Amino acid sequence: MEWAQILFKALVFPGVIFLLLVIFATFYLERKLVADMHGRTGPYYVGPYGILQTVADIFKILQKEVIIHREADKVLFLVVPAFAFLMVSLVAAFIPYDKNLWIVSTPYDLIISLALLTSLPAIFLFAGWVSKSKYPFIGGIRVINQLISGEIPLWLAGLSVALWYGTFNYVEIVERFDLIGFLVNLIGFVIFLVAILIVADRPPFDIPEAEQEIVYGFLTEYTGLGYLLLAGAKFLEVFVLAAMTVTLFLGGFKGPFLPGWVWFFIKLFFVYYLAFAIRASTPRIRLDQLIKLTWKVLVPLALLNIVLIILLKGF
Amino acid sequence: MYKGAQIITEPVGKEGDLMILNWGVQHPASGPMRIKVWLDGETIVKVENDPGYVTRNLEKLLEYRTWESAIVNVERICFIDDLGTLLNWALAVEKLAEIEVPKKVQYFRVILAEVGRIVSHLIGVGSMFGALGVATPMMWVLAIREYYLDFLEHYSGYRISTASIVPGGLKAEPTKEDFELLKKAIEETKKRWPEYKEVFKDNPTLVERYKGVGVIPKKLVYELGLRGPVARASGVDYDVRTRYPYSSYEDFDFNVIVKEEGDAYARFLVVLEEIEESVKIIEQALEGMPTEGKWKVRVPKKIKAGESYSAVEWSRGSMEYHVISDGGTGPYRVKISAPSFMNIWALERIAPGHKLADLAAIFASLYICHGDLDR
Amino acid sequence: MDLAFKILEKITLVALRALKPKDTEYFPEKNPEVRKKTERFRGRHFINAETCIGCYACERACPIGAIIMVPTGLKRPRAMPVVNLGRCCYCGLCEDSCPTKEKSIYLTEDYDILVKDVGINLTPLIDDLWAKPVGDITKNPLVVKDLKKQQQKEGK
């Protein structure tokens, strides 16, 4: 019954419905955990402990009218968000939740994921361009700024892991994970954490969607279903990158008593909490300061990390 | 030249190579005011202010009121700190009618004015962070502010727009529970303030964003007539409370905070440290409060003809009134000189040369109140 | 390098705030009394028909013109105030200017003016935006005195 198994995996778990649940869950968790740090309650009334608040919000967004700018190209305007969602879902197919719980597993997992992720800034620039309005245009150009500063440390830190373990396949990397592997890759872990915040437009690097300066960046003109797909693509990008961090640096589904996927979600929650705590406490930095930070600090550190791993692997 | 008063029939587009952006009325961080920005890539080339969206014609409305019922209009000049404006009106009318209020009324007025200053500076600090995308300082600060608003609500009935200081004294007598609530507010501030300062005062990213940005040199302060924390952060030592004391401020012992650099970080520090000085003043006033005298002195219904001028150090600068009376039951003409209106014209001189991302930071650090800008 | 440690320190301090008690309270199901009404709160007007003497002081004191004196038809009190609740700015100057010992017009602590909000059911409180005099005007001391004088004149 290979057909049924593949259909189940593609549509339900780790497939489309699971990804939609991930969007609901991360949106809810972000509001609740950041509210704890603010000293307030967060969503409370809709459902027990406010769990259904995101459901209410998303169904409200689906009812809104889709407004297209007078001079914008109508077909492209509606196609671009769907395309962004599609590209991110492709990357989500490679994540291993347990030893046998994955959709695709090839000998070149890591490189394919990184290559697919590098296509997203171009789609966001196109989303800003096609809106034919000034604020989205500025937001789209700023995404290129994120691209030239954040992608290179991401690649270098990610590939250094493959260098140490000797393979690109995710499941094998997790199988070969042990304490020495964790300690050796520590510098790469820190660089990768900073790099996923830059690539996914999370605070303090959320320059393309800076609400106080350019109203909402490249998402300004999108309403209704288009906004949902584009913002959903951004949420999924964070999920995919966090899952990659857990798989490469924290040992994926390995752990003592509980089943594998429980450990995976616990480690994922830890990475998410770190991202939320950084969001609640650090102001946004400026464009040129970001480029200075990555090219003067992160890239040399990543290159030194590769040299160190090559030396250590020699012993 | 101020060109903002035309009716625009076609959308603002571009001018040659530069892009014109409406950092406009419908924007998350600009408040109800429009700023026209000429951009070259990401660098600002020229900035033009366009205020006037919150005008309520308060100066004209005051001509139809009596001396006591004018507090309804005067307290609505700014919706966050209305106690300083009420105090100034009471001082101006008392100068015209040549009456003296007892000492304990003056001490309580000082307490109310400093509570107004604390309440306004707390929101100012929160919004200077809010312009950079972090919401946490605003939430923490609003929790401290609630205790002061509890005191104001118990004393006067409302949290903002209190209508509590009238010419001749106070509208209502303070009771024992009012003083209890005030002491609780000060105690909570002292408990939470060190933690707040530790996390946010020398936050590295804030320092990176604010240091060296939006520098106002000392010459510009004298040329444009800037006031308040903006002037004190550029090295000009002027505070109406020490220079021309009013309402027995000379009895209290406090520092005037002056910094030298003149950039946005200095303005942030001035606002932050003035909160501690205000807490000191309130404690001294609570201890040394006299007990004899009445709370309200009778003001005649018709005041003889004359003019008077009075100035108060309000939270955003020195607020000044020029009141003219012609012997009737109300003022003949009132001219209000608002500090935010003077400070906004510094934006046109210091913004060019910075990046677009700095415009939000400079605008927040100039500490503008929009109700006070347009009156 | 010390910059990175400083940022980490700030992040941990903010994250530790999550363990302390919260500043907000649940309202109104868990504790409906948490919204304390203070005595001096300036809410809806209460005009007492049993003590008003019809001196027109409140109409003169109102800065906005929200009080109108409506004639009663009797000799004393000649007119009684009604307040336009939409125009009133709730400043309390009318209450200050009333000369009777127990004020005939004062602002209560009630902030439900148009409807009373109880969950989903909204109960309308008044039909139009006017606050009218409340009470039995025949118990007014002035009316009682005039009635007695008239009865004495007729009795003679």
Q: Tell me how far apart the alpha carbons of residues B219 and A136 are, in angstroms, rounded to a whole number.
A: 39
Secondary structure class of B185 (helix, strand, coil): helix
Tokens of A168: 């690109």
Query: Rounded mean pLDDT of C124-145?
Result: 80
Cβ contact A39–B143 (<8 Å): yes
Domain boundary among B53, B72, B97: B53
Q: What is the pLDDT of residue B6?
A: 60
How far does A289 lie from chain B, in Å, by closest CA? 9
Cβ contact B155–C40 (<8 Å): yes
Q: What is the pLDDT of residue B232?
A: 92
Band (pLDDT 50/70/90 cuts) for residue C117 is low
* DSSP symbol at C128: S
Q: What is the pLDDT of residue A215?
A: 79
* Residues B359 and B274 both lie in one domain: yes
User: What residues of C are in contact with residue B147 (Cβ under 8 Å)?
Assistant: none
Task: Domains for chain C: give ranges and CATH numbers.
Answer: 38-137 (3.30.70.3270)
- Total number of domains in chain B: 2
Do A280 and A202 touch, CB atoms closer than 8 A? no
Cβ contact C93–B198 (<8 Å): no
Q: Does C87 touch chain B (CB under 8 A)?
A: no
* Residues B14 and B147 both lie in one domain: no
Q: Please give chain B's pLDDT, 375 residues, in tens.
A: 455 556 555 566 666 778 888 888 888 888 888 888 888 888 899 898 888 888 899 999 999 988 988 999 998 898 888 899 999 999 999 999 889 999 989 999 999 999 999 999 999 999 998 888 888 889 999 989 999 998 998 898 888 888 889 998 898 888 888 899 999 999 999 998 988 888 888 888 888 889 889 899 999 999 999 999 999 999 999 999 998 998 889 889 888 999 998 889 999 999 999 999 999 999 999 998 888 888 889 888 888 899 999 999 999 999 999 999 998 888 999 999 999 998 999 999 998 989 888 888 899 999 898 888 888
- Selection from B87, B130, B64, B122 nearest residue B313 by Cα: B87
Look up the pTM and report it: 0.89
Range of the domain at B39: 1-53
Query: Rounded mean pLDDT of A306-311?
Result: 90
Cβ contact B132–A288 (<8 Å): no
How far does A194 lie from chain B, in Å, by closest CA? 15
Q: Please, which chains are in contact with A (at least 3 CB pairs closer than 8 A)?
A: B, C
Residues in chain C: 156
How far does C16 lie from chain A, in Å, by closest CA? 7
Q: What angle do CA C12, C17, C19 make, to 5 degrees?
A: 110
Do B23 and B35 touch, CB atoms closer than 8 A? yes
Cβ contact B70–C64 (<8 Å): no
Domain spans in chain A, listed from the N-terminal domain onward: 1-63, 69-314
Q: What is the pLDDT of residue B1?
A: 41
- Is the preceding peptide bond at C28 cis, omega within 30 degrees of 0? yes
Domain boundary among B35, B53, B71: B53
Q: Does B209 touch chain C (CB under 8 A)?
A: no
Per residue in A46-94, pLDDT (tens digit) is 888 888 888 888 889 889 888 887 777 888 888 998 999 989 888 888 8
Cβ contact C11–A40 (<8 Å): no
User: What residues of A are in contact with residue B206 (Cβ under 8 Å)?
Assistant: 283
* Residues B46 and B67 both lie in one domain: no
User: What residues of C are in contact with residue A42 (Cβ under 8 Å)?
Assistant: none
* Residues B46 and B170 both lie in one domain: no
Q: What is the pLDDT of residue B121?
A: 93
Per the model's pLDDT, the better-predicted residue between A261 and B139 turns out to be: B139
Q: Does B243 touch chain A (CB under 8 A)?
A: no
Worst-scoring range by mean pLDDT, C17-31, C84-98, C127-141? C17-31
* Residues B46 and B68 both lie in one domain: no
Q: What is the pLDDT of residue B323?
A: 93
Give the domain CATH number at B360: 1.10.645.10
Per the model's pLDDT, the better-predicted residue between B235 and C114 turns out to be: B235
User: What residues of B are in contact with residue A281 (Cβ under 8 Å)?
Assistant: 134, 136, 199, 203
Worst-scoring range by mean pLDDT, A1-10, A121-130, A216-225, A247-256? A1-10
Of B140, B203, B357, the CB nearest to A286: B357
Q: What is the pLDDT of residue C118?
A: 59
Average confidence score pLDDT of chain C: 82
Q: Tell me how far apart the alpha carbons of residues C43 and B59 are, in angstroms, rounded to a whole number.
A: 28
User: What residues of B are in contact with residue A40 (Cβ under 8 Å)?
Assistant: 139
* DSSP symbol at B20: E
Average confidence score pLDDT of chain A: 86
Cβ contact A212–B143 (<8 Å): no
At residue B46, φ and ψ (nearest 5 deg) are: -155, 150
Q: Does B191 touch chain A (CB under 8 A)?
A: no
Cα separation of the two ends of chain A: 47
Which distant-in-sequence residues (6+ apart) come within 8 Å of A8 by Cβ?
A15
* Residues B41 and B136 both lie in one domain: no
Cβ contact C11–A277 (<8 Å): yes
How far does C103 lie from chain B, in Å, by closest CA? 15
Q: Tell me how far apart the alpha carbons of residues A125 and A224 are, in angstroms, rounded to a whole number.
A: 20
User: What residues of C are in contact with residue A282 (Cβ under 8 Å)?
Assistant: 7, 10-11
Of C14, C22, C23, the CB nearest to A280: C14
How far does B106 lie from chain C, in Å, by closest CA? 22
Worst-scoring range by mean pLDDT, A31-40, A189-198, C18-27? C18-27
